[in-house]
Structures are given as structure tokens and as C-alpha cells.
Amino acid sequence: MILLTGGTGYIGSHTAVEFINEGYDVVLADDLSNSERRVVDRIGQITGKVPAFEELDVCDKAALDRLFRKYHIDAVVHFAGYKAVGESVAEPVKYYRNNLDSTLALLEVMKVHNCRKFIFSSSATVYGENQDVPFTEDSPAGSCTNPYGRTKFFIEQILSDCAKADPELSVVLLRYFNPIGAHESGLIGEKPNGVPNNLMPYITQTAAGIRHHLSVFGNDYDTPDGTGVRDYIHVVDLAQGHLAAYRYLCGAGKGGCHTFNLGTGKGSSVLEIIHAFEEAAGIAIPYEITERRPGDIAECYADVSKAEKILGWKAVHSLKEMCASSWNWQQKSAE
């Protein structure tokens, strides 16, 4: 059985679908602070199999111990964590306490129950700023621009140290670039609380008339059209990357800590995303150019050759599919 912490969240739920479709048994653990219980049933509707679900705080070691006694857990995919960049700047202790404690609690309980495979939901944000793109897994990491990014970087360091100390422990760090899109069914997707921080949900809410217009945060970057460039990857491709990472860990003698970028290897600007969405949805997106957002970098996109070579994984969905599926989810989730 595979434990997905944060399993009712955006990436977790899509990963649960891919694991179940591949024939694996999963159990989702989530405190529902940033997701909804009905996602469990939605995953059942999509796959024909409702996954086991345990409502718990991943920082609660006693609760984790009960889960590991109830199920035989072969591997953990750790999605649970706070992830709002702006909030992390305002409330750093909340972010360090939650994101690090949940990881440390998992590591302690996993050791007691001899569960030795750990896949971590990391982020390209660990590459920070002032780096030459495309980022490879060997690009310098740690010059993060906010506490959220630093929690990801610190957790990577913790897991690397633990894998060095315990040859039985196998770790994969997956550095996500910019996940967007939704499952084709429109039953699961990104559901930000309040005003979206991220570009795509803001675009889809503008298209739905929930937001008046999009603010484009700066067009004076050193990029082809002056707006920020990111590596947008379909969330289903990202989920498939976790499956590839799990298969890799199941291979012979995979101790140690292995890092992989999960992106497309292609950068797209904010204006390119707006135009791709307008074409996919057939809806004009009103926008205004405003000041840069503090902490933003000009360009961030991946060198994905390592995941392709070692995991045999490559993103396959197009930008049009990412935009169309995002819009489909926005329309369905409003129903």
C-alpha cells in the first residue's frame, strides 16, 4: 500500500488516480485544511475504486503510528504541506513548524514500521534567483526568496542526510516546475482558497467572471516579451512522474537520495499563457500590466533530460490541453 499525505490536494489527488489506475492500493491522509473530503469519492468516480482515507494531521506522530499499524505501507509520497508563498512571508513559523514537523514525524514513524521508500514533493523554487536557465538537478539550490521555498530546500537537506545515515532508506526528491491543468473528467483540479496566487486559477476565474481582470506582474523582465517565463506542466504528467519515481525506487538497490526535475523543458511567458488560454477556451482575458510581484524571478524552466534518461518519464500534454482542462475544471467545479 502507498501512503499519499496531502492526498486530497491538487497534486495528491491526481497522483492517486494514476497509482490506482496502475493497480496500486493507496491510502490518502489529509487534514482537509486546504482540500475537501469529497475529492476521495471523486477519485472513486474516476477510477472505479474509492481509496482508503484517513483524516489526520501529518505532524501527529500517534495518528501516523495508528495508520501504519492499520495498513501495511510500502512507500510514502509526501505532498502535505503549506504552500502559499505570500502567506509564508507573513507567517514563517507556521510554515517551518508544519512543513518540517510533518516530514520529521513521518521519518520517525516510517523507521519504526520499516517503511523505507520516501518520495518528496519538492519545487523548482529551491533554485531561487540569479541562476542560468534551464535548471539542471545540479544547478545551485538554496538561494530561495521566501520561507515556503526554504522549507522545501531544508526538507530536501533533511531527507538527504537521513538517506546518508540509513542505507536502507531510499529517497526521491521531485522538483515540480509550474503544475497547471486538471484531469479530463473535470472532477478534480486546483481549488485555491480565496484570491488565487497562481496564474492559471486567476485566469480561469477571470474567464468565469469571478475576477474582473488579470494583473500581469511586470513586463520589464529580460525575457522575449518582458513578462515572466515559467515551465508549465500538466498535472497529469506530473502525477505520472510520481509513478515513474516509485517504479524506480522498487528497482534493485535504490538506497540514497535521487533528485529529478519534473517539467516540460520549455518556458512560456505570462502573455503566451494568456493567448494559449484564449485560443483553447475561446474567451478573451482582460488584463492590465502592473508592477512586478516581489520575490518573482524572470525565468524558470527545467532541463528534464535526467528524468527522461533515468525514470523513462517525459511530459506529453500540450499547453492547449493544459489550458482547456483548466477551463473545463473551472466550469465543472462551479456547478
> Distance of alpha carbon 168 from its chain centroid, rounded?
26
Nearest distance from C-beta of residue 154 to ligand WQD, angstroms: 14
Nearest residue (CB) to ligand WQD, 125 versus 261: 125
- Name which of 2 and 233 has its Cβ closer to ligand WQD: 233
The candidate with the shortest Cα–Cα distance to 264, out of 200, 199, 223, 319, is: 319
State the nearest-atom distance from the C-beta of 99 to ligand WQD, in Å.
11
Taking the least distance from each CB to ligand WQD, the nearer of 113 and 266 is 266
- In this structure, are residues 251 and 157 in contact, taking their beta carbons and an 8 Å threshold? no
Rounded CA separation 57/307 (Å): 32
Question: Which three cell numbers, joined as nine digits, stand for 168?
Answer: 536502507
The three three-digit cell numbers of residue 156, written as one number: 530536501
Binding site for ligand WQD (CB under 6 A): 83, 85, 123, 125, 178, 197-199, 202, 214-217, 228, 230, 270, 293, 296
Across 113-225, the runs of DSSP E, i.e. the strands, are 117-123, 170-176, 178-180, 214-217
Considering the complex, state which of residue 78 and residue 83 has its C-beta at the smaller distance from ligand WQD.
83
221 is an active site residue: no
Which residue has the CB atom at the shortest distance from ligand WQD?
228
**What is d(CA 3, CA 15) in angstroms, rounded to the nearest whole number?**
11
In the bound complex, what is the minimum distance in angstroms from residue 223's beta carbon to ligand WQD?
Answer: 9
Q: Is the Cβ of residue 115 or residue 172 nearer to ligand WQD in the bound state?
A: 172
**Which residue out of 10, 95, 127, 148 is catalytically annotated?**
148
How far apart (Å, rounded) are the C-alpha atoms in residues 335 and 331? 7
Between CA 93 and CA 119 the distance in angstroms is 24
Q: What are phi and psi of 119, to 5 degrees?
A: -110, 125
Residue 298 CB, nearest approach to ligand WQD (Å): 8
Alpha helices, DSSP H only, in the chain?
10-21, 38-47, 61-70, 85-90, 92-112, 147-165, 199-207, 235-250, 270-281, 305-306, 319-333
Residue 123 Cβ, how far from ligand WQD at the closest point, in Å? 4
Positions annotated as catalytic residues are: 148
